[in-house]
């Protein structure tokens, strides 16, 4: 129970920190009521995280500290003379997010459960990274016309059509990796098929002119639906 609370609180406080740090830093004297509520929720989540963090095993704590540091540097400049953060380094943003999510959702539970790391776990890590990268591609396509050139996003570098081809290839790779596992779970495999199929359709239909709810609602709802399916199928 402590583990799930820790991950939940860390996710809420980390996401809000990355998303709203810039706004709070520059407009802290005139914060809107909504932003103040977000700060309050973030503070409560941080307190919950710190409390439950102490209940975890040492390897889990060390990994969380490492992932937390990456999240911190994602929003905070790397140094006094370096105003850039990890988010602003061209071409790495999407991969940093995927690695942090995969580490949190795959490696961290294994450490806490004291499981032996086997080939199947490594395949799951790659599957999760591939799916997470594709999950973010519709957002990069949506923001193609507004993103700064220095960000070097995938659509900026190779174009929308090639981005969709790369994304579909990653989804196909995720599906193929399922057949390389020594042990498979029917429920998990069905969830993977659903996730790959839906993300492929959403990616192919992504354009810079899409309504903002296309990515912010439809695309972001895919992991939630996958979680619900996992609960019922397993």
Q: pLDDT (tens digit, 9 = 90+) per residue, 200-224?
A: 999 999 999 888 889 889 999 999 9
Higher-confidence position of 228 and 73: 228
Higher-confidence position of 55 and 17: 55
Q: Which residues sit opposite 79 in a β-bridge? A: 82
Q: What is the pLDDT of residue 29?
A: 52
Q: Which of 78, 54, 77, 79 is nearest to 64 (CA)?
A: 54
Name every residue whose Cβ is closer than 8 Å to that of residue 46 and which is 6 or more positions away in sequence. Answer: 9, 13
Q: For 19-28, what is the mean pLDDT?
A: 59
Give the Cα separation of 13 and 44 in Å (integer): 8
pLDDT exceeds cutoff 90 at 126: yes
Q: Which residues sit opposite 82 in a β-bridge? A: 79
Say if CB 121 and CB 110 are below 8 A apart.
yes
Give the Cα separation of 187 and 193 in Å (integer): 10
């Amino acid at each position: 129970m402590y583990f799930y609370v820790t991950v939940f609180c860390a996710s809420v406080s980390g996401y809000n920190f990355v998303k709203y740090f810039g706004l709070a830093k520059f407009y802290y004297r005139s914060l809107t009521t909504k932003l103040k509520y977000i700060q309050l929720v973030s503070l409560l989540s941080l307190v919950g995280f710190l409390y439950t963090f102490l209940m975890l095993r040492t390897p889990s704590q060390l990994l969380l500290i490492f992932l937390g540091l990456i999240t911190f540097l994602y929003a905070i400049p790397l140094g006094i003379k370096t105003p850039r953060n990890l988010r602003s380094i061209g071409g790495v943003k999407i991969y940093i997010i995927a690695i942090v999510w995969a580490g949190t959702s795959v490696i961290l539970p294994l450490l806490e459960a004291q499981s032996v790391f086997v080939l199947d776990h490594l395949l799951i890590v790659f599957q999760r990274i591939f799916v997470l990268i594709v999950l973010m591609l519709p957002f990069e396509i949506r923001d193609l016309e507004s993103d700064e050139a220095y960000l070097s996003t995938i659509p900026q570098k190779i174009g929308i059509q090639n981005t969709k081809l790369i994304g579909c290839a990653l989804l196909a790779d995720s599906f193929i990796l399922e057949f390389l596992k020594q042990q498979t779970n029917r429920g998990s495999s069905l969830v993977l098929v659903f996730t790959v199929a839906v993300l492929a359709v959403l990616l192919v239909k992504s354009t810079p002119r899409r309504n903002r709810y296309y990515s912010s609602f439809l695309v972001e709802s895919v992991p939630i639906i996958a979680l619900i399916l996992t609960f019922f199928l397993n």
